Chains A and B, each alone.
Chain A
Amino acid sequence: MKLENKVAVITGAAQGIGRATALMMAREGAQIVVADLQGEKAQAVANELKEIGAAALSVAVDVASEASVRQMAEATFERFGRIDILANIAGTYFPKKSVVDLTEEDWDRTMDINLGSNFLCCREFVPAMRKQKSGRIIGVASGIGHYGMRQFSHYAASKAAIIGFVKSLARELGPDGITVNAICPGSANTSMPRQHRSEEEVLERLRSTPLPHILEPEDIAGSIVFLASDAAKFVTGQSYDINCGNYMFG
């Protein structure tokens, strides 16, 4: 198993890419903190993980709140005593608005949840990783951070910022043996795009990629697990696009 006895904190783990990552890491032997704003759903995922024999703790967390993230870290250390992997997957997509219609609150909320959460979670967990001279941090950005998207300028800016954050943190933490990378998913078969598109539109978009392959949460999780594993110990500061060939920026 690739992650035997590793402790992984996964935010946004109640659904979609986060849940797929939790399941895949659990199957690879990791112990998982299932963190999500939706506490009940997080508990349900933790139960799924226990059913496959993994140790799991669910934590209800608001990743945009200093106090809440601190409590998540305390709960992690109390239960598992360490952290090896931090996957910052929690994020938000909304509202869909033109730049001129975006309120300051809209902007702040997106930045706090998507970008601020990366900062807050890293700030809480990095000292422990530094002490043990090892650790893996994976941020989830988005292809939209590279490509941009009409009526989602706040989202695109927050995701592009994650890439800059990851590169800087990779430089800062490299000497301590900690790697920091980003994954940039394309539009995946999750509930998120269905919040503003019809089922038909979602499927049409998923099928319109060069590869005849529907981008599933497991496709993203596979790369997150790779970056968390020993196999990727010399990879840091990178942002990998996973999008069935939809765009190629690297």
Chain B
Amino acid sequence: MSQVALITGGGGGIGGAVAQRMAQAGIALVIADQDGAAAERVKREINAKGGKADAMTVNATVAREVKALVADIAKRYGRIDILANVAGGSAYTKRIEEFTWAQWKEVVDANLKATFLMCREVAPIMRKQQSGRIMNTASNYGVTGSALRTPYAASKAGIITFTKSLALELAPDNVLANTVAPGPTDTPRVMAHESPEARRQRWWPNIPLGRTALPEDLAEMYYFLTTPESAAITGQVFHVNGGVVMP
């Protein structure tokens, strides 16, 4: 029986690439996204190539939606081997005094709370299986900080330490939890706000490998963390950023 992976934010960008990479390896996928139509598109692409994917709509910041999603998957598949929490992000760049309380909560919830809610539902299933791989998504900003992105950077730093704590908690049950930290990555969401030329000028001179990341570059790291070769790795942070940050 193939492994079963749940990928949040799987409807595009890094999450979409993670789904494609895992499908290539024969993993059965549940692509969960707030944008149900986007999840459906990725599902169709994967299935057209002979993969096995389901699409589900979820707002990962809402506890009851997450609970229902995970219960549904458990019922359909009987197991969850891999959880990749990729959903997240931030729509805001502004000074601290301009953030409303609601905006602050929106960003922290989309990143940190969603990660917590997903892990809370999936961890007992993996514990029972005595195996599982969890990959959460931080950012290089979770280590370096970022001006005008205080809630985003704080939530990403929170994800790193949350994941370490979870790794310690779940290790006795052979459930591994690691963080992937992307640097500047050319996702459709980012590219909608910046021209390729502006992006090139802003980033490329500062990146040792001379370019920004593609979602596929990140997907390889998520996939590696599901393989037997990474069976001794837990609680760690994996930066994939062309060398722009070397903590």
Instruction: Report which A residues bind B (CB closer than 8 A).
Output: 167, 170-171, 173-175, 177, 179, 209-213, 215-216, 219-220, 222-223, 225-226, 231-238, 240-245, 248, 250
Give chain B nearest CB distance to A154 CB in angstroms. 24
Give chain B nearest CB distance to A103 CB in angstroms. 34
- CA of A244 to CA of B175 in the docked complex: distance in angstroms? 11
Residue of A nearest to B238 (CB): A240
Residue of A nearest to B212 (CB): A234
Identify which of residues 121-180 in chain B touch chain A, using a CB-to-CB cut-off of 8 Å.
Answer: 160, 164, 167-168, 171-172, 174, 176, 179
| Residues of A with C-beta under 8 A to B221 | 231-232, 235
Would you list 26 pairs from A and B whose C-beta atoms are within 8 A, ordered by A residue? A170-B243, A170-B246, A174-B208, A174-B209, A175-B208, A210-B172, A212-B172, A222-B229, A222-B231, A223-B230, A225-B229, A231-B224, A233-B217, A234-B209, A234-B213, A234-B214, A234-B241, A235-B221, A236-B208, A236-B243, A237-B208, A238-B246, A240-B233, A240-B238, A242-B233, A248-B235
B209 & A212 in contact (Cβ 8 Å cutoff): no
| Residues of A with C-beta under 8 A to B238 | 235, 238, 240, 250
- B contact residues, range: 35 or more
Q: Contact partner of A248 among B167, B230, B231, B241, CB < 8 A?
A: B167
- CA of A49 to CA of B221 in the docked complex: distance in angstroms? 28
- CA of A212 to CA of B234 in the docked complex: distance in angstroms? 11
Give chain A nearest CB distance to B220 CB in angstroms. 4
| Residues of B with C-beta under 8 A to A231 | 220-221, 223-224
A213 & B174 in contact (Cβ 8 Å cutoff): yes
Residue of A nearest to B208 (CB): A174
| Residues of B with C-beta under 8 A to A233 | 217
| Residues of B with C-beta under 8 A to A216 | 232
A244 & B243 in contact (Cβ 8 Å cutoff): no
| Residues of A with C-beta under 8 A to B217 | 233-234
Residue of B nearest to A210 (CB): B171
Q: Contact partner of A245 among B227, B228, B234, CB < 8 A?
A: B234
Q: Which 8 A-B pairs have the closest CB atoms?
A: A174-B208, A222-B229, A210-B171, A250-B237, A237-B246, A219-B232, A234-B217, A231-B220
Q: Is B13 an interface residue (CB 8 A)?
A: no
B167 & A223 in contact (Cβ 8 Å cutoff): no
Q: Mark B107-131, 1 if CB is under 8 A from A, else 0.
A: 0000000000000000000000000
| Residues of B with C-beta under 8 A to A243 | 232
Q: Is B43 an interface residue (CB 8 A)?
A: no
B210 & A174 in contact (Cβ 8 Å cutoff): yes
Identify which of residues 193-234 in chain B touch chain A, using a CB-to-CB cut-off of 8 Å.
Answer: 207-210, 213-214, 217, 220-221, 223-224, 227-234
| Residues of B with C-beta under 8 A to A240 | 233, 236, 238
Give chain A nearest CB distance to B153 CB in angstroms. 16
Identify which of residues 39-90 in chain B touch chain A, using a CB-to-CB cut-off of 8 Å.
Answer: none
| Residues of A with C-beta under 8 A to B210 | 174-175
Residue of A nearest to B218 (CB): A234
| Residues of B with C-beta under 8 A to A173 | 208
Give chain A nearest CB distance to B226 CB in angstroms. 12
A174 & B207 in contact (Cβ 8 Å cutoff): yes
- CA of A188 to CA of B83 in the docked complex: distance in angstroms? 28
- The winner among A233, A241, A250 for most chain B CB atoms within 10 A is A250
- CA of A220 to CA of B232 in the docked complex: distance in angstroms? 8
Q: Is B11 an interface residue (CB 8 A)?
A: no
Give chain A nearest CB distance to B145 CB in angstroms. 16
- CA of A171 to CA of B167 in the docked complex: distance in angstroms? 31
Give chain B nearest CB distance to A217 CB in angstroms. 11
B208 & A171 in contact (Cβ 8 Å cutoff): yes
Q: Contact partner of B229 among A171, A211, A223, A250, CB < 8 A?
A: A223
Q: Contact partner of B232 among A211, A235, A238, CB < 8 A?
A: A211
B246 & A179 in contact (Cβ 8 Å cutoff): no
- CA of A187 to CA of B233 in the docked complex: distance in angstroms? 13
Residue of B nearest to A173 (CB): B208
**A210-B172, A231-B220, A248-B236 are known contacts; what are 20 more A-B pairs with Cβ within 8 Å?**
A174-B209, A174-B243, A177-B209, A210-B167, A211-B171, A213-B231, A216-B232, A219-B229, A222-B228, A222-B230, A226-B224, A226-B230, A232-B221, A232-B224, A238-B239, A238-B246, A244-B234, A245-B167, A245-B234, A250-B179
